[in-house]
Amino acid sequence: MQHTGITEKFRATHCYDRESGLLHVTASGLAEPEDILAMYNKIMELSCRYDCHRALIDMRAMMKNVDDNRLLVMIDQLDSLLRRIRVARVINTRDSQQNLVQSIADSRNYPLKNFTSQDQALAWLLPGL
């Protein structure tokens, strides 16, 4: 469990930027498995609504309350989303599970990548801009 230091309730805001064709998501607080699944399901819904296939998730202010086994189950549940949307995640470097998420994404060829800065994430999401 990774909840050290963050006690506020989980929140996620979603915004679609028509100019860049990018979904911007900001997540903060202590996230339970249901919160994370709901956040990604909302990304899927907005992706379909706006025909958008790129998302930037800023989760630097978020900490997960999820053990590794539950994390693996969640990734399986999100498989179809993770295969169709390019996801750049700006991560909280204190969350040791982020390396596990990246390893799974790499092994499954998901277009998902972790970053420590928003500028790096945008450069990967929006090449040529």
Q: Give the pLDDT confidence of 55-65 residue by residue, as tens digits.
A: 999 999 998 88
Residue 51 has phi, psi (to 5 degrees) of 50, 50
Q: Where are the beta strands (DSSP E) in 2-108?
A: 11-17, 22-31, 54-64, 86-90
Q: Give the pLDDT confidence of 42-55 residue by residue, as tens digits.
A: 999 999 999 999 99
| More confident site: 20 or 4 | 20
Domain that holds residue 28: 11-115
Residue 81 belongs to domain with CATH number = 3.30.750.24
One-letter amino acid for residue 56 of the chain: L
In a domain, 120, yes or no: no
pLDDT at 11 over 80: yes
What order do you get walking across the sheet with 86-90 strand by strand?
Answer: 11-17, 22-31, 54-64, 86-90, 112-115
Task: Quote the DSSP letter at residue 17.
Answer: E
Percent of the chain topping pLDDT 70: 93
In a domain, 4, yes or no: no
In a domain, 25, yes or no: yes
| More confident site: 63 or 25 | 25
In a domain, 125, yes or no: no
Residue 22 has phi, psi (to 5 degrees) of -125, 135
In a domain, 39, yes or no: yes
pLDDT band at 128 (very low <50, low <70, confident <90, very high): low
- pLDDT of the residue at 5: 57
Q: How many domains does the chain have?
A: 1
- pLDDT of the residue at 3: 44
The whole-number average pLDDT for the span 72-97 is 92
In a domain, 126, yes or no: no
- pLDDT of the residue at 93: 87
In a domain, 51, yes or no: yes
In a domain, 122, yes or no: no
